[in-house]
Every structure is written in C-alpha cells, then in structure tokens.
Amino acid sequence: MGKWPTHVTIKEVGPRDGLQNEKTQIATEDKIAWINKLSKTGLTYIEITSFVHPKWIPQLSDALEVATRIERVPGVTYAALVPNQKGLEKALTAQVDEVAVFMSASETHNRKNINKSIEETFPVLEEVVRAAKQEGKTVRGYVSTVFGCPYEGSVSVEQVIRVSERLFDMGIDELSLGDTIGVATPKQVQELLEIVLKRFPKEKLAMHFHDTRGTALANILISLEMGITTFDSSLGGLGGCPYAPGASGNVATDDLVYMLHGMGIATGIDVQRLMEAALFIQEKIGRPLSSRYLQTIST
C-alpha cells in the first residue's frame, strides 16, 4: 500500500463534458451563473466549454459568449476543448487560459468522434498545439477509450502509449487518460499505469474516469496508490460522451471530494459552496443528478 498524497488537484469538467450530453438545453445565463459559482468553490481548474462546431454539440454552441462573460477568479485556470485551428482562433478570442486537444486510442471511436483516422488526426492537433503554445497557452491532451472502446472492445496498452507519445512530442503539458465508457477496473488501471509511468512522469498525467459501472472511485483509489494526483470530475456526476453509446456520467466531483477529505487528502475545495453549485445546476437540468453525496443532501 503506497502512502497517500497530502494534496490532490481536481479538474472540474462539468460545464463541458457534463453538459455536452444533456438533452435539456441549458440557458447561456445559467451556464455563466453556474461557472461563476464553481469559481468560488476553491476549484483551481474549470473546463468551461468546447469550441467544436455547433452542429456536433448544439448544447455548447454558446461557447464564445460563455467564455467571454464569466467572472474570472485569479488563481483559477479556465480551459476549453479545441478540435482544430478554427476552434483555436475562437478560443484565443475568448482568452481561455488553457487549450485542450483530444483524440481516441481506438481507431473507430476516433473516426466517430473526430471524423478522421488516428494518423489523420495527429497533424491537425500538432498545428493546434504549436499555435496555442506560440500564444503562451498551456495545452492539455485528452486520450479517450484508454480502457475500452464501445465499437472495438479492448484497447491495447501499446496503442495508448503510441498516441500518448505523439501528443507529448507535440508539446502538451499534461495528458488526461480517459475511461470514456466506464469499463475500467482497478486491476486494469494498475496494469496500465505500471507501463505508462515507465514512459511519462506522473506529474504530467491525469486520470479521467466515468462511473458507468460504479468503479470510478475504486479506480481513482488505485491511481492514487500509483502516484497520480490529478483527476478530472464533473459536479453531480453530470455527463457522458455523445460518441460513446452507453457512456454515463463522469465521476462526481462531490463524491470524490468527500472521499479525499475523509482520507485526510486536501483539495482546497469548500464543500458547502460546491454543493450550492451542485444544487443550482441540478435544478436547471430538472432531474436528480447521479452523485451519491448530492442525493444525501437533496432528500
């Protein structure tokens, strides 16, 4: 049993990964108000939107307005997902702090998600990373379907390494490894990280778990033991992936904070303010969210 870290960084992806799959159209004003609430919780990183074509994700068609109208709090990094050069231009106009590029470890999911093969995706992302770096932005790379693909089933560790290496070669600052469809188990996470951590420094890695089958916190626990201290999560357990059938929400930020604080691991997050933000977005979505901690205070 490894020694637990004293501090963990939580990256809130709810406004982007959480909302992108919601059927209920959330008003721009409500998104802005929600992000403003999140900014006051002690979170140091919020992924606020995605500059993809509105046709693909209509929920985030107000990306520029959201990004320019939120109240920015010093010490909080405001990031956005960027698919290509056109998206980057908008993200730079919106003055986001960090640009996130994304691709899949599996060929079919990459084609469904990006409309390109993995090989065709590399030059597009390389251009985005280079241009973002020239503008002084930090860049995050997401790899989806690391632990399994809804179309191809299992994904080889070699394939994950190959894609990750190319992204690091482009100059990304951090890599987020995603269990897009929530199939991973702790043993699988341990086996993958044993190999990945021989190649890349743990300080540059984050884990992104979905709780589709209820294994997300267990997977985070094993990742903590392996030395990972950065995790993506979504308040209330919002979200999924529009291009991954059957994928339910991200691990819930509130459940994760409850577990970490109970273990004596600091996050810098104020639980009361976090729950105020959770209750706010739950009301706007108009249905109970899936996080266990939120359910205990909503009843």
- Is 278 within 8 Å of 272 (Cβ atoms)? no
Q: How confident is the model at residue 298 (pLDDT cuts 50, 70, 90)?
A: confident
Domain range for 160 is: 9-296
232 falls within a domain: yes
For residue 134, what are the CA distances in angstroms to 88, 125, 128, 171?
12, 14, 10, 11
Alpha-helix runs per DSSP H in 208-252: 216-225
pLDDT value at 243 more than 60: no
Question: What CA dihedral angle connects 267, 203, 81 and 257, to 10 degrees?
Answer: -20
1 falls within a domain: no
4 falls within a domain: no
Question: In this predicted model, what pLDDT tens digit does every residue of 55-74 receive, in sequence order?
Answer: 989 999 999 999 999 999 99
- Is 97 within 8 Å of 78 (Cβ atoms)? yes
Phi, psi of 228 (to 5 degrees): -80, 135
Question: In this predicted model, what pLDDT tens digit does every residue of 10-36 receive, in sequence order?
Answer: 999 999 999 998 888 999 999 999 999
- CA dist 141 and 100 (Å) reads 6
2 falls within a domain: no
3 falls within a domain: no
240 falls within a domain: yes
pLDDT value at 246 more than 80: no
- Count of CB atoms situated within 10 Å of the CB of 195: 12
pLDDT value at 240 more than 70: no
Element (H, E) at 174: strand 174-179
Burial class (CB in 10 A: 0-12, 13-18, 19+), 10: buried
- CA dist 255 and 233 (Å) reads 9
Q: Which CATH number covers residue 161?
A: 3.20.20.70
14 falls within a domain: yes
Q: Which amino acid is at 248?
A: S
Number of domains in the chain: 1
**Share above pLDDT 70 across residues of the chain, in percent, rounded to a whole number:** 96
Q: Which amino acid is at 10?
A: I
DSSP characters over 101-112: EEEESSHHHHHH
211 falls within a domain: yes
149 part of the active site: no
**Share above pLDDT 90 across residues of the chain, in percent, rounded to a whole number:** 90
Half-sphere exposure of 30 (CA within 13 A, CB side): 16
- Is 38 within 8 Å of 12 (Cβ atoms)? yes
pLDDT value at 6 more than 60: yes
Residue 291 tokens, joined: 């996080």
Catalytic-labelled residue, pool 241, 244, 278, 281: 241
